[in-house]
Structure 1
Amino acid sequence: MRNCLLPCWLGLCLFWLSGVAAAEIGVAVDRNPVGLNESFQITFTAAEQPDGSPDFEPLRQDFEIVNQQRSTSASWVNGKSSRNEQWLLTAMAKRSGELTIPAIAFGADSSKPLALTVTETAQPTAKDDELFLEVSATPEQPYVQAQVIYTLKLFRRVQITQASLSEPEIKDALVEKLGEDSTYSTQIKGVDYWVTERKYAIFPQQSGLFTIAPLVLNAEYVSGRQQPRFNGFFNRPSTETRRVVSKAVTLNVRAVPAEFKGAWLGAESLELSESWSDASRQAKVGEPLTRTLTLKAKGATVGQLPELFDKTPIDGIKTYPDQPLLNEDKQSDGLTASREEKIAFIPSKPGEYNLPALHIRWFNTKTHKIEEAALPAAKIKALAVAGTAEPDVAAAAAA
């Protein structure tokens, strides 16, 4: 009889010991239901040391983990010690519907599944929302390779602690950020908002219908709620993370007008100018006279600007062009491209020389008309040097 009771007693002890060893893992959310584009908090709590570190990988199937923290606290009250461990996760659902926070393994220990309702929240349309985006494109029917000003405005009446914003994406287009962001305040229906405004220049490279993909903002902001964190003394204001998505914008890009002939150049304005190292346009034989040609086009890129130097040979003059100086000025009202070319003319014999006129054909994207920028034909004069032999032109150019 005694031998029969011994195995039973040992089994009961082992069962009791295994029950003591298993740590109970609690799980809770800060609210239920939650919106699809809103963050929420999942808290895992253990009163004893779990068997191992948590494996949150199963959670990623339906949820995005935005942030996670861990805290351990211990206390000694009336001769008894207590321990508390917490894992606080900030998460966002990947889809709406009736979802389940799965059981999370902590080594051999595990939490229990928890049901969560995720609602399909509409994008903010009412202007009393705490955080929303507005985007616009001007014009929405641009010409191919012409500038489109894409403006983003972030309206907020909450304090943002950190945020990330996607860049505008559009097929077959060049995208350039313009200037620095501007911040100002405004009122909408009597409600004060801070506005952060950002602008881009977009240059579609093909004609047809194109869509600028929605921008996505992930922002962590101070919610008005005060929540204890990790049962500590140093509690701070609760933060929430929210995903805000802008609308998509469709562009109907026009092709090059049939009546335009030659290399296509579309711009909002264009200016062609010249200057000379000697205003009288005179130089002694063997000495350089430098001409500077400058082309500025608003609403165009440097890649669209044509060469300015006419390479047609001129009998009696050697020409030495420098490398062009290219520049793009990105201001809040748009991009202005410039091309500067310097050409040194060195006459080998005295006399007057004619330089051909310069014509730049371009299309005004504001007036929808073909225009032409021109510089008239120029005349330069080479003066003889008394009592000297004909100079070495190549040596003079090198000097």
Structure 2
Amino acid sequence: MHPLQRRFAFLFGAWLLLSMISLGASAQTRAWLDRDNIAAGETVTLNIETTSAVSVSPDYTPLQRDFFLTGHTSRREYELVNGRSRTRTLYAVALQPRREGLIAIPPLSVGGERTQLLSLQVAARSAQVPARAGADVFIESEADDEAPYVQQAVGWVVRLYSAAPLVSGQLDQMAPDGASLQRVGDDAQFVREIAGRRYSVVERRFLLIPERSGALTVPPATFEGRGTGGFFDDLFGNRGGELRAQAAPRFLQVRSAPANAPQPWLPLHDLQLRYQSTPQELRTGSAATLTVEAVADGATAAQMPELQLPAIDGVQVFPDPVQADERFVEGRPRVKLTRRFSLVPSRAGQAQLSGMRLQWWDVRAGAVRSASLPALSWPVAVGDAASTDQNAASASAAPATVTAAGTAAVPWGAMQGANRNWILIALLFAALWLFTLVWGLHRRAPAVAAASKEPVDAMPAEIRSQADLKRALDHADFGELAQTLCAMARPPAQGIDEVLARLADPRQRQAIQAMERARWGGGDGPAARGLLRSAFAQGPRWRTAESTAPSPLPPLYPQGEAKGGPGGGSGG
């Protein structure tokens, strides 16, 4: 074989091997349960999702010792991600525990991948029988707290019980006056035996947030559907297959925030803080990573204050965006917040970090609680002399900048611990990508010019709706809320200062000013959100075109409302 041919064959084989390795590495497999806590006699659904191109069903053999397995299903989907096709397969199986207690679900083999370890808590069978048990179909609803506080996140659960198979149906839960109600997650489906009868149960979860104190009436949930009627029933016009059910109305007594409650107001069942990872030492000019985790029982991510480290003398701190994992546990919301901080010392010696501290209100005990992290101390070693001088020069000439997403860009000198060759390669590919983008935009210039002649008012209908504004008032951060208000103006406003100038209602302008103080000036986020909900309950009131005039004063707060600013997440 010619040497060039051998070399080509070698390179092709290496390329093929690397492609196979990358294809196998790109496959992702995960497993999860639709519920983590069940009662004896109930079923739980185990879901397994894999992106492997090889279609191999999971091996359920390790589960047969602790569970009865029924209802095997699978679904295969094809999707296009970044110009590449990907196959995703979802497997599901219903598990009925053979015993009570904590049961471990071992890793299962799916082709060449394995799922992670899971756990399921199985409680004793409840002796309480629902009031309407025995009917073909009935509904029960409950709150995780019958006497919540104002702005407390209440878990609201609606369960539809059906003894007959359902062909179709509609389950509705109306929102009460004086509270916001938002559906959370997907429906959970399982089987429960009640009074010797087997029911299929559909469990739907909601997030209920009371907006004012006093009695709160939650409307009853309703169901209208159709079961599997017989052939002769349909033939002779007998509508016996129709099913209807309605739950009983529920009443909650909402308590006001106590006078001695800490601010910002944070009603919770529990709050835990911990260091997920800490560096062993710091070096001048090098970035070290510190990760903080907060787990709040009874809150959503929008209700939590921002995780922020106290100032460290001689150390620059660059926070990453907060990562939020929201779940529904024991009938109420639970959120885990994770945030990484890059620590870059500017001088040698000793660095001291005082512990983070968050105060909250214990809704069960009715008392002030405090969650804190211990103080940390690190020795700061001197980095390489050349890189230290370069870092000092770059730090004085070009300080770190904050990006639009709220993250900090570490100076080039702080990257001495990384491989700069790889960084240069990444920058080269970024430059090529930018060149391609500019070339594509240049080719699209005529189309963009023609499109620019369209009226500015052609905004998506969903952005302009009052329902979206209400969702933003209840759950979005202040940055998204400002974005929604700008989009609702006609024509759309370029910033929140323009929204202020075009609003006709003084209460709405005062509420926005309170929001801006909370975003940029350390104001009270929960109080500002309460003012916004009250002022914009009926939607924004705009001035007429003749009465709107540009303000001669400079903007009161920094511009850029369309982005989530540093205070964009501080809401009530």
**Greater Cα shift, 347-356 or 138-147:** 138-147
State the one-letter code of the partner of 1:286. G
Deviation at 1:261, TM superposition (A): 2.5
Deviation at 1:229, TM superposition (A): 3.2
Contact 2:327 2:333 in 1 (8 A): yes
State the one-letter code of the partner of 1:206. R
Distance 1:332 1:253 in 2: 21
Equivalent residue of 2:305, what SS? Answer: coil
Distance 1:385 1:137 in 2: 57
Question: 2:189 matched to 1:186?
Answer: no
1:309 paired residue number: 308
Question: Unmatched 5+ residue regions in structure 1?
Answer: 1-123, 231-235
Contact 2:316 2:345 in 1 (8 A): yes
Match of 1:217 among 195, 220, 223: 223
Distance 2:188 2:336 in 1: 24
Question: 2:335 matched to 1:337?
Answer: yes
1:89 paired residue number: none
Equivalent residue of 1:366, what SS? Answer: coil
Contact 1:178 1:331 in 2 (8 A): no
Contact 1:222 1:239 in 2 (8 A): no
Equivalent residue of 2:208, what SS? Answer: strand
Deviation at 1:297, TM superposition (A): 0.2
2:250 paired residue number: 249
Distance 1:149 1:316 in 2: 45
2:390 paired residue number: 391
Deviation at 1:349, TM superposition (A): 1.5
1:273 paired residue number: 274
Distance 2:192 2:321 in 1: 47
Instruction: Select the structure with the greater relative contact order (CA < 8 A; seq sep ≥ 6).
Output: 1
Higher strand share: 1
With over 3 angstroms needed to count, the CA separation of the structure-2 counterparts of 1:309 and 1:148, relative to structure 1, is: closer
- Count residues in correspondence: 267
Contact 1:158 1:223 in 2 (8 A): no
State the one-letter code of the partner of 2:219. A
Equivalent residue of 2:302, what SS? Answer: helix
1:243-263 superposed Cα distances (whole Å, 9 cap, x missing partner): 322221121111112221321
Distance 1:194 1:275 in 2: 41
Deviation at 1:374, TM superposition (A): 0.7
2:364 paired residue number: 366
Match of 1:145 among 135, 147, 151: 151
With over 3 angstroms needed to count, the CA separation of the structure-2 counterparts of 1:368 and 1:214, relative to structure 1, is: same
RMSD (Å) for aligned C-alpha atoms = 2.9
With over 3 angstroms needed to count, the CA separation of the structure-2 counterparts of 1:185 and 1:341, relative to structure 1, is: closer
TM-score, with length taken from structure 1: 0.60
State the one-letter code of the partner of 2:355. A
Distance 2:414 2:320 in 1: 12
Equivalent residue of 2:241, what SS? Answer: strand
Contact 1:226 1:238 in 2 (8 A): no
Match of 2:204 among 198, 204, 217: 198
TM-score, with length taken from structure 2: 0.43
With over 3 angstroms needed to count, the CA separation of the structure-2 counterparts of 1:169 and 1:292, relative to structure 1, is: same
With over 3 angstroms needed to count, the CA separation of the structure-2 counterparts of 1:343 and 1:191, relative to structure 1, is: closer
Question: 2:291 matched to 1:292?
Answer: yes
Contact 2:173 2:220 in 1 (8 A): no
Larger Rg: 1
1:152-202 superposed Cα distances (whole Å, 9 cap, x missing partner): 2323333321111113412332434356423213233x5554443333332
Question: Unmatched 5+ residue regions in structure 2?
Answer: 1-129, 396-410, 417-572
**Greater Cα shift, 176-185 or 138-147:** 176-185
